[in-house]
Amino acid sequence: MKTMIAYTKRGCLTGKKLRVVLNAMRKRTDRRAKCDLFIRWGSTEPFNNLRYKKELNSLEAVQNTVNKLKMLEILRDAGIKTLEFNNVPDTMAELFDNSGNFYIRNRNGIVRYGNDFSPTTDLYYSRPIKYKRREYRVHVFENKVLGAYEKVPLVPGAENRPKLFKADTCKFVRCNLELEGCRVNAQAREMCVKAVQSLGLTFGGVDLIRDKSGNFTVCEVNSAPGLNGMNVGRWVEAIQEYYNRE
C-alpha cells in the first residue's frame, strides 16, 4: 500500500509520527503524483494533481473543521451540544458571565481571554461551561471510538480554572472504556462519533467537556488529533483495515 500523508505545520509532530509508522510519503507540492491511500491530516491544500484510490478525510470536511465557527454551526445544526457561541458584541460588558469569564476566538480557533482582542468580522465568542469538572480528548475513526484520554492539568488546582486546556498545559491520561462506570460513557461516545460524522470526517479527535451533573458538551473536533506511543498502533490498525476493506 503506497500511502501519502499531508499535514500542516500545526499537526507536524503527529503527522511525522504517523508517516514513519506507516512508511508513508509526505505530500509537499502540487506536482503530479499517485498513491493508494491519501491521508489528509489537517491539511487544506487542494493537491489537484494527486491521484489516489482511497482518501481519508476530504478537503471539504477538513475545511469545515478548521473553520471553528463553521464547525460549531454544523455541530449545532446536527443537534450536538456545543459551546454557546455568537458574534462579538460592540460592548465588552455583554461578554462576561457571572464569574467574569468568556472566550474570544477567530475562525481558525485562536483563543483569547479577557480584554485581549480587537473586534474584526471573523471573531466570535463562546462562553465557558458552568461547573466544568473534566475535559477529555476522544479519538474517533469512522463509527468507532479508538480511545479516550482525560486532560489532567500540569499545575495542581488548575482543574478548577475556567480556561480550556491546551497541549502544553496538560497531560493525557487514558480512560479505560471497558471499565464499568467509565466517565466517558456510551452516550458521550455516541456524541463524539456523531460529531465527527456530521462534519463529513472519517476520523477526528473530539474535545469533550463534562460538567458536575454528568452532562457532556463538544468543545471542538480536530482533524489532526495528537498521537503518541500509546495510541498510534490503534490508529495504524484502523487505517490499514479501512484501506483493505472492499
Q: What is the pLDDT of residues 9-66, one digit of tens each?
A: 766 778 888 888 999 998 877 778 899 999 999 999 999 899 999 999 999 999 999 8
For the domain spanning 63-82+130-222, the CATH number is 3.30.470.20
| Cα 148 to Cα 21, 58, 144, 211, 224, distances in angstroms | 21, 24, 11, 17, 15
112-161 pLDDT, tens digit each: 544 444 545 555 556 666 777 888 999 999 999 999 998 887 766 555 55
209-239 pLDDT, tens digit each: 998 888 999 988 999 988 877 788 899 999 9
pLDDT reported for residue 114: 47
Distance CA 202, CA 54 (A): 12
pTM: predicted TM-score of the whole model, two decimal places: 0.82
**220, 207 in Cβ contact below 8 A?**
yes
Q: How far apart are the first and last CA of the chain?
A: 14
Cell of 15: 503527522
